[in-house]
Amino acid sequence: MLADNLREVQKNIEKACEKSHRNSEEVTLIAVSKTKPVEILQEAYDAGARFFGENKVQEITAKYPELPKDIHWHMIGHLQRNKIKYIIDKVDMIHSVDSLRLAEAIEHEAAKHDLVMPILLEVNVAEEDTKFGLKMDEVVPLLEKISDFSHIQVEGLMTIAPFVDDPEENRQVFRDLKQLSVDIGKKNINNINMRVLSMGMTGDYQVAVEEGATMVRVGTGIFGARNYAV
């Protein structure tokens, strides 16, 4: 049952926090609801979930009007510049910013709506060819440019770790991202905050929490397997 899954994930987060001497209130669980219908999201909401992650603009715009208004929507997937306008006033955070052009387009749409958009920079820590995201050494140069933007607030970093059998294999990836965020924090770049580390998915969120994640994005572990055929 979904409510049981949700509780189980929450309990695992608490355990990982205890193990690493962290306060579990520092960690936000984002229920990744992509491909799932609104009835299922409502079920998760009724079980207590308030943060939902989606990776497609069309899914956010379709689900948004059907569900309670106190849901915090997080855009976690690759975002095309021409689609920002559909979600700019609906999402609490965009996790997947990986280029100056995308940041500029977000700045432009946010200005139109007179809002400040919280974003994370997506880092391809393991430098996998198949993944989006900045290389580690591209992060600071981009931050220095975004620092001038008045309608974007950088809140931290995000990574999608490699798909592995043993989550321990990703521990170093999470450590590297945490270290990068600490190093950036010390630079005190204007308008750049490093309070969020969005890392860890169903297969490895406990390890990610042990290494400092403040947001974990869990889909399958809450909603079960996804069926992309429907």
Ligand X SMILES: *Cc1c(COP(=O)(O)O)cnc(C)c1O
Footprint of ligand X (CB under 6 A): 32, 34, 55, 76-77, 160, 201-203, 217-221
Nearer to ligand X, 29 or 117 (CB): 29
CB of 68 to ligand X, least distance (A): 22
Nearest-approach distance from CB 186 to ligand X, in angstroms: 27
Spatial separation of the C-alpha atoms in residues 85 and 109, rounded to whole Å: 6
Kind plus residue range of the DSSP H or E element containing 71: none
Alpha helices, DSSP H, located in 37-116:
38-46, 57-63, 84-87, 100-112
| Distance in Å, CB of 144 to ligand X, minimum | 25
Task: Determine the Cα–Cα distance for residues 101 and 142; give it in Å rounded to an integer.
Answer: 10
CB nearer to ligand X: pick between 83 and 151: 83
Q: How many CB atoms lie within 10 A of CB 214?
A: 19
Residue number, 17 or 160, with CB nearest to ligand X: 160
Spacing of C-alpha 157 from chain mean position: 8
Cβ proximity to ligand X, 106 vs 218, nearer residue? 218
In whole angstroms, what is the distance from residue 31 CA to residue 49 CA? 7
Output the smallest distance, CB 178 to ligand X, in A. 17
For residue 7, CA distances in Å to 29, 194, 223 come to 11, 28, 12
Alpha-carbon span 202 to 82, nearest angstrom: 30
Q: Which is nearer to ligand X, 137 or 228 (CB)?
A: 228
Nearest to 153 by CA among 212, 98, 213, 194: 194
Q: Report which residue's Cβ sits closest to ligand X.
A: 219
**Which CB, 149 or 159, lies closer to ligand X?**
159
Question: Considering the complex, what minimum distance in angstroms separates the CB of residue 12 from ligand X?
Answer: 12
Three-state DSSP state, 33: coil
Residue 69 beta carbon to ligand X: minimum distance, rounded to whole angstroms: 24
